[in-house]
Chains A and B, each alone.
Chain A
Amino acid sequence: MPAKQQRRKLDYVALFLLVFCLLGLLVTPHDPMAQDFRDQALDGPSFTHLLGVDGLGRDFASRLWQGAGNTVLLAGTGMAITMLLASGLVSLEQVGPVWCGRFIRMVIGLWVALPVIFIGLLLLVFLKPSPSALVMAIGFGNLAFCFRQLRVLWMTVRSALYVRSSEVLGSRGWQLFKWAIWPNLKPDLLALCRLLFAMSALELSGLAFLGLIGDPDFPELGSILKQNQAYLYQAPMLVIIPGAFLSGLLLSVHLSRFHR
């Protein structure tokens, strides 16, 4: 029982953190873009600025909060794109003609070999660098991984004894999916989502760290870290906190998966 309780607790922590981060998109104590405190640039924490002021006179806590929100939102969007595309491809592969399935598997075989960063770079050869371009990069980048995982999950569940049995008992189509397949697919699917979310968030901030996000002021944890790198020796907190925050966030999401 305590293990289960702990899992619940971790789930709540992760959920709370995610919602908390997303809240940063709506409200922050100060405007994360406004350089209202230029005269206090690089000042340490105070009552009005809980985490101090960054090098361009912006409230760091507000930037961090909204940055975390953006990271969660963009990584989540990327994850959703990946999931949608991958499940579409898996159904096409399963339902469509044989040559179609073979073709899909072959392209996926190619896709696996292309790192997300290179896909991002290739996209940026002809797209304007922007958060949406990065979302596309991670969305497409993780497609192969997600496709393979989804396919294995699907095959395992589809060929499982209980599914076969209910098929024999006359369940078909939507009924079969709803009653026999979905309940068994759901937990694994959720686990895959958590993993994909962490991958997307890391890739997103990695690309942002390489400076490919477009607007340098765009609050996102990776780009905040990049922008503040210039102050590594003067104000190391400005670099350490965004990374620690991202790690903590992803860790809480990740850990909620263990006690399933």
Chain B
Amino acid sequence: MRVVILCVLLFPLLVLLSGCGQESGDAGKSPQAFVFARGADAQKLDPADVDDGESVNTMAQIFEGLMAFKTGSLEVEPRLAESVAISEDGLQYTFKLRPGIVFHDGTPVNAETARFTFDRQMDPDHPAHFPEASFQYWENLFADIERVETVDEMTLRFHLSSPNVGLLATFAAFPSWLVSPGGFEKHGDKMAFNPVGTGPYRFVDWRPNEAVILERNPNYWREPAAGFERLVLRSIPLNTSRLSELVAGNIHGLDGIQPSELKDLERDPRFEIHKAAGLNVGYLAFCDLHERMQDPELRRAISMAIDRQNLVNLALNGYGKVAAYPAPEGILGIPDDNGPIKHDPEAAWKLVQANPQWLTEPIELATFGQPRMYFPDPQRIASLIRSDLESVGLKVEIVNREFKSHLHITRRGESELALLGWVGDTADPDNFLTTFFHSKSATVGSALNVSFYRNPEMDALLEKGLTISDAEKRKQVYREVLDLWARDLPLIPLVQGDQITVMDKRVQGYVLAPSGNHFFGPVYWSNAGSDN
């Protein structure tokens, strides 16, 4: 019997003593395949019908748009288009296509094949406008496009119903990446599982919950061509397992890492951590449908009680920053300061003491399980907030659900406090502020304004902001929006999470994109990187 007990006690000890930072893998040999791991599998590989990062990051290797973001910036440049011309009145966008490019299936890229991508999203009667697909981005981002015109073989013109200053950038966003009509002819409504584009890698196989396998596109039209023969995008849900694969040398890069895991990797010479500010805000919403939360004093007390810097330190381990305003820094109209919310637990304590009616029953704080870019560990955020609130005398009960159920609860306003976040689709202030504060997005059941904040004054300001094209004047409007927010405080912006990618040092050529997507086209292997 003692043997058994010894075994049980010794094995963990053995594991512990053996340490974890062991070199392994064969150094010096260049791999033919680049293996990258993320926490979930892609859902669909149809640019017009997705909203999850994993699908977009897979498609970013396969598809390209008429326009593209310049490497590492949010500025756009023509990609599959050679040039773009915008008419004086801003109502016509004319794209001249680059000659000699073919899709992976051999279909040439010309005005006819290019407009397929736009026709199928715009025209509900188009055969490729699948009934079960949602095409929601078209409605959000391209609503101003009235019709598409084929001027000549290589020229495509878009006619708008009203000018839209942000439209050119959306031609670089994933919903407008060009899809081959040949792929639709061949695969029909299964085209989402057989993507055909023009990108540096082409699709080979998709093994759900395992990996998406791509291979080099030998006919890629520009330099640098794909750096590897094969590109494997694995899905490994458990954070620990994903990290173990990296440390064991079985994969060359990963994302969706817990910031607390980065401390050791930072010191490890084998890996390089790419990080940059992300276009997101994680926030705490006060649901106005609950009587207690309608009390502005309580909202103020809570805002003063939460130590947001501490959230950044302990839940994000420094990989992120305090969100001063309900939209990330650097967006038009968002000031570059610490914002109106101050951390003042003593004042909060006094407020709580003066209002014993807040303490009748614990406040419900809803959180969720899956990591997001804004909250790498939402549960840890929740427990830190609870600790802060309890130290000023409030009582809090955390309710943890899976993300989908959590969304449902928050959209119906069933929890008094809810943790949630928003990843920007574009870098426009409207994308954040209308989502958070406009009453039109406060319908119970489908709300994105999960505070259910309804204020006609705010609605008017937000609508006004959309019509102004002059940046300075627009900025002024959004300043007023922020003033209203600071007065009423329907939500507290908490943190802005960094986007983090960890790579083997020998993987070169990777640059983080501010849009949050991975572009592995230019990535290549260099053994020189391993010497330092």
Contacts and interface: CB of A to CB of B under 8 A. Distances in A.
A129 B403 CA distance: 13
A233 B243 contact: yes
B260 A251 contact: no
B264 A234 contact: yes
Contact of B387 (A35, A230, A232, A234): A35
B454 interface: no
Given A230-B239, A234-B263, A247 B380 contact: no
Contacts of A56: 314, 380, 383-384, 387
A258 B5 CA distance: 14
Contacts, number: 93
Given A56-B380, A216-B379, A216-B398, A233 B314 contact: no
Contacts of B383: 35, 56, 216-217
B199 to A, nearest CB: 34
B310 A38 contact: yes
Contact of A217 (B5, B247, B398): B398
B12 interface: yes
B16 A215 contact: no
A213 B243 CA distance: 25
Nearest to B367: A216
Interface string A216-237: 1100000000010111111011
Contacts of B379: 216-217, 227
Contacts of B382: 216
Interface residues of B, number: 38
Contacts of A237: 16
A216 B401 CA distance: 10
Nearest to B383: A217
Given A230-B258, A236-B16, A237-B16, A244 B380 contact: no
Interface string B232-250: 0000001110010001000
A41 B314 contact: yes
Interface of B is mostly: helix
A215 B310 contact: no
A247 B386 CA distance: 31
B441 interface: no
A55 B387 CA distance: 14
Given A216-B380, A217-B398, A244 B261 contact: no
Interface residues of A, number: 35
B399 interface: yes
Contacts of B314: 38, 41, 55-57
B43 interface: no
Contacts of A27: none
B515 interface: no
A211 B384 CA distance: 18
Nearest to A240: B12
Given A211-B400, A214-B400, A233 B8 contact: no
A178 interface: no
A56 B388 CA distance: 12
Nearest to A258: B1
A206 interface: no
A231 B314 CA distance: 12
A251 B239 contact: no
B369 interface: yes
Interface string B253-265: 0000010110110
B4 interface: yes
A214 B258 CA distance: 20
Interface string B14-57: 01100011000000000000000000000000000000000000
Nearest to A236: B16
B243 A128 contact: no
B368 to A, nearest CB: 10
A96 interface: no
A240 B16 CA distance: 8
Nearest to A34: B387
B266 to A, nearest CB: 11
B377 interface: yes
A14 B377 CA distance: 37
Interface of B: 1, 4-5, 8-9, 12, 15-16, 20-21, 238-240, 243, 247, 258, 260-261, 263-264, 310, 314, 367, 369, 377, 379-380, 382-384, 386-387, 397-402
23 contacts: A33-B387, A35-B384, A41-B314, A55-B260, A56-B380, A211-B402, A214-B400, A215-B397, A215-B398, A216-B383, A217-B386, A227-B380, A229-B238, A230-B240, A233-B21, A234-B260, A240-B16, A243-B12, A244-B8, A244-B9, A244-B12, A247-B8, A248-B8
Q: Which 6 A-B pairs have the closest CB atoms?
A: A216-B379, A230-B258, A35-B387, A230-B260, A217-B383, A240-B12
Interface of A: 6, 10, 33-35, 38, 41, 55-57, 128-129, 211, 213-217, 227, 229-234, 236-237, 240, 243-244, 247-248, 251, 255, 258
